[in-house]
Amino acid sequence: MSGVLLETRNLETYYGPIMAISGISLSVRTGSVVTVLGANGAGKTTLLKTVSGAVDCKKGQVIFDGVEVQNQQPDRVAARGIGHVPEGREVFPFMSVDENLSVGAWGRKDRDAVARDLKQVFAYFPDLRAKRDQMAGFLSGGQQQMLAIARAYMGRPKLMILDEPSLGLSPLLTQTIFGIVRRINRDEGVTILLVEQNAHAALQLADHGYVLETGRVVMEGTGAELTESEDIKEFYLGRAEAGVRGEKRWKKRKTWR
């Protein structure tokens, strides 16, 4: 891995008067997989939306590939090389699979490379090949998630950010999706920033991870370090012996140590 591709510095983002993230600073190195963990409402999705330009920050910086991009329009951020796969897939339901993929490549002029990437998409997601002419709204949930990732891939991003890619999927399909994300990272050199409730799967994939609580970073470490953390085991990896004791610790804890 080389230098830092994405860095956020002291980000603060609000929804009206409500602060959603408070002073978040993190970095994502080129070629790495970084995961962000946290309970519902911790600010994970807001962080991703702030990075991609879907929401504006009130304070702080988003530095991508050496350039400040905070509060720029999403299309300009995407053109710089950030592909956002949002929570809930958000494919274009009344457009075909092929048309959705064409939207992903909208800003590209390298037609020959686009054709090669389309061929690669169908190698990664063979289910989509048979559905090329089908309306995206009629795909299964898993196929829609594949399409959302494939659409982002067609933009040839330097950084792909994924928000809950396993949401609503079976364990087997989740394993398939994560395997493809790993291949895109390793084989294509695409850097990954991942928000995921399935902490076990996310940490297996991640080089580094951050834990958010009420809009703040309260813990960070390598994927292996977080996997071995007692706090992570209790609150995210479902260790059975934690039980009620872990629940009480979570409610009482103000900061992580």
Distance CA 194, CA 84 (A): 10
Residue 252 phi, psi dihedral angles, 5° rounding: -80, -25
Of 182, 169, 157, 184, the closest CA to residue 82 belongs to 157
In the predicted structure, residue 250 carries a pLDDT above the cut 60:
no
Nearest one of 75, 66, 54, 57 to 27, comparing CA atoms: 66
Question: Closest Cα to residue 75, out of 52, 108, 91?
Answer: 52
Name the band, by pLDDT with cuts 50, 70 and 90, for residue 2: low
- Alpha-carbon distance of 189 to 32, in angstroms, equals 9
User: Could you tell me if 33 and 192 are in contact, meaning their C-beta atoms sit under 8 angstroms apart?
Assistant: yes
Select the more confidently predicted residue: 3 or 249. 3
Which domains are assigned to the chain? 4-252 (3.40.50.300)
Q: What would the mean pLDDT of 96-113 be, rounded to a whole number?
A: 92
Whether pLDDT at 72 is above 50 = yes
User: Is the pTM above the cut of 0.85?
Assistant: yes
Supply the pLDDT for residue 155.
94
| pLDDT tens track for 222-243 | 999 998 888 888 877 664 333 3
CA nearest to 227, candidates 250, 202, 249, 245: 202
Is pLDDT at 200 greater than 90 in this prediction?
A: no
- Is residue 98 within 8 A of residue 122, CB to CB? The reply is no
Using pLDDT thresholds of 50, 70 and 90, give the confidence band for residue 29: very high
